[in-house]
Structure 1
């Protein structure tokens, strides 16, 4: 089997694709892969390290307001479709899977026009422009949230979940928290604002740090590189043994498995991970994403009792501590949220997507 995967721009498009590739390799070692990304996308830093053949095309996104730059975008899209067709002819995949981002638009569109079986995978509760456009041409549409099917031709849609979840559930509990100078046997709140950090979450955490230092539970905080010096200095001044501040957590899956409560943004990949594990969470949706899709992601879990949500505009240190305490100090609530989270998780997502591939080739 030869599979071409394309997607990029953000980790939310890249990591599900890589998780799917890793799963297929585990069940079909002879499968061949090609990953196509954008020349300036984050995938250039991530995918080559995975040992997957990697090609790039030049493309950019549309401006939402009228702009002369959109003329260049149209030109690049047409040019990128021709480039994609050449890559497809050379690799001759049995199936092409797009996980989102502008690059997947050109590649999946080209594949569909060449009559190659195609799938788009939508991670969010509100689909992006690219996947809505592609849904008219592809063979199948894979979704991660129920309810998203209303945006697509319903006969093409199957709920499969996010393949990243299947990687996380294979991770076992361990003493990993000791690597962060914390007690592996103590209840732990994991707080992070994404790979780059988030200013509002950092500000609230700094305000809350003195209160957190008095708690029976411990806190592991990932600030992001740019905010680390200031947050780390404040932490050092407090000398709190139950707080660990890190610029970035590289072994996030293992840390998550050993945590009691997660606090962070409402990105699709994070949601797939913590629901697969059955973790309760406090979500602070980013207000800077298209169509406010993080709020919609979070609300779907609020509705079933799996998470608490704090609007970014309402986030303060006092509010953060109060909501964390309401969960960490209430064992019954904590367990109920964990059970609701587990019910929403789809731990076999990569397998479901793989089965979809086998159905169409």
Structure 2
């Protein structure tokens, strides 16, 4: 079996980092790694996540372009050129068989440097709307792996594109029901909806849930409401004690290892980031997406539309969100078994539970060639 010396790079947001980590994890499970190096920035989120997992980590100094014409961009260009030099040094010392970039400006230098040194290169685009870094790198890399078919329109190099799905999907697909809902005083045997607004929480979603608590308290299903740590104390102060004591409602600031609870859920309400979509479609969980209107190019709305077009999810724009609409949308799914099953089947149809293996096949094929 082929064993790889691989450099992986991605940063800025968890959406770039977690797919990279899932790929590394799967390579290790298949005993396909001779050595692995992660290249990131010193102050980026990746520095905490990667080092915590005991993976070798090196840094380069680089930043992204400003969206407006500014003298600051001259410094950015100089920093990029300097980081290419350091990246080439890292590559020559590590001697990788292949270099993979998963997005974020940190991956631009190391992937471009690998191309210049004639090392096989792959980028992975998680969203329907490609990031600036991946659009730039698309001209130089050997393969462009995508997680949404719609992303094909973002790249001119059509022959390089291969659909793999998001590696986080395979990681989620391997999780079995584990009765973890009992940690939140809920019954895993009962129909449960998870409502959350991303890792930090979202005030508009929290506000809608608080207003719907009287209806939720009388519902036949359970509600696991995750507020986000920064919002939790403020949310609790706004809720009457009788709703805090309801046996079918659990309010939490944050859930560590959230994917572990996914197999015990019947419905998810939340943002439509690429990682969330990969995980829930791998498990065939229906969803109500409330896309964040604050992300670049409104890509969460585009992500959500691709999933909802298949019948696997419903979209509730944040601007239209009310407590009444939230409860009605959830109730319409969880009190109608046919609707729930149809959405679940549609979700499974577009899920990619072997996404990491598909991406690994792209890597090994490039190395062989």
Q: Same fold (TM over 0.5)?
A: yes
8 Å Cα contact 1:25-1:31 kept in structure 2:
no
Cα deviation code 1:94-152 (max 9, x no counterpart)? 00000000001111111111110000000001111110110100010000011222222
Q: Counterpart of 1:150? A: 153
8 Å Cα contact 2:313-2:343 kept in structure 1:
yes
Q: Distance in 2 between matches of 1:349 and 1:338?
A: 19
Q: Is 2:179 the counterpart of 1:199? A: no
Q: Counterpart of 2:223? A: 219
8 Å Cα contact 1:231-1:245 kept in structure 2:
no
User: How far off is 1:28 after superposition?
Assistant: 2.0
Q: Counterpart of 2:294? A: 288
Q: Counterpart of 1:323? A: 329
Q: Counterpart of 1:186? A: 190
Q: Distance in 2 between matches of 1:90 and 1:232?
A: 53
Stretches (4+) displaced over 3 A: 233-236
8 Å Cα contact 1:39-1:59 kept in structure 2:
no
Cα deviation code 1:145-197 (max 9, x no counterpart)? 11222222110010000000111111111211000011111100011111111
* Match for residue 275 of structure 1 among 281, 296, 304: 281
User: How far off is 1:68 after superposition?
Assistant: 2.5
Unmatched segments (≥5 aa) in structure 1? none
User: How far off is 1:20 after superposition?
Assistant: 0.3
Q: Distance in 2 between matches of 1:236 and 1:108?
A: 53
Q: Counterpart of 2:71? A: 68
Q: Is 2:164 the counterpart of 1:160? A: yes
Q: Is 2:116 the counterpart of 1:113? A: yes
8 Å Cα contact 2:5-2:33 kept in structure 1:
no
Secondary structure of the residue aligned to 2:149 is coil
Secondary structure of the residue aligned to 1:147 is helix
Q: Distance in 1 between matches of 2:240 and 2:248?
A: 12
Q: Counterpart of 1:100? A: 103
* Match for residue 21 of structure 2 among 15, 18, 23: 18
8 Å Cα contact 1:124-1:144 kept in structure 2:
yes
Secondary structure of the residue aligned to 2:275 is helix
User: How far off is 1:283 after superposition?
Assistant: 0.3
8 Å Cα contact 2:224-2:251 kept in structure 1:
yes
8 Å Cα contact 1:235-1:243 kept in structure 2:
no
User: How far off is 1:332 after superposition?
Assistant: 0.6
Unmatched segments (≥5 aa) in structure 2? none
8 Å Cα contact 1:123-1:268 kept in structure 2:
yes
Secondary structure of the residue aligned to 2:311 is coil
Secondary structure of the residue aligned to 2:250 is strand
User: How far off is 1:355 after superposition?
Assistant: 0.5
Q: Counterpart of 2:254? A: 248
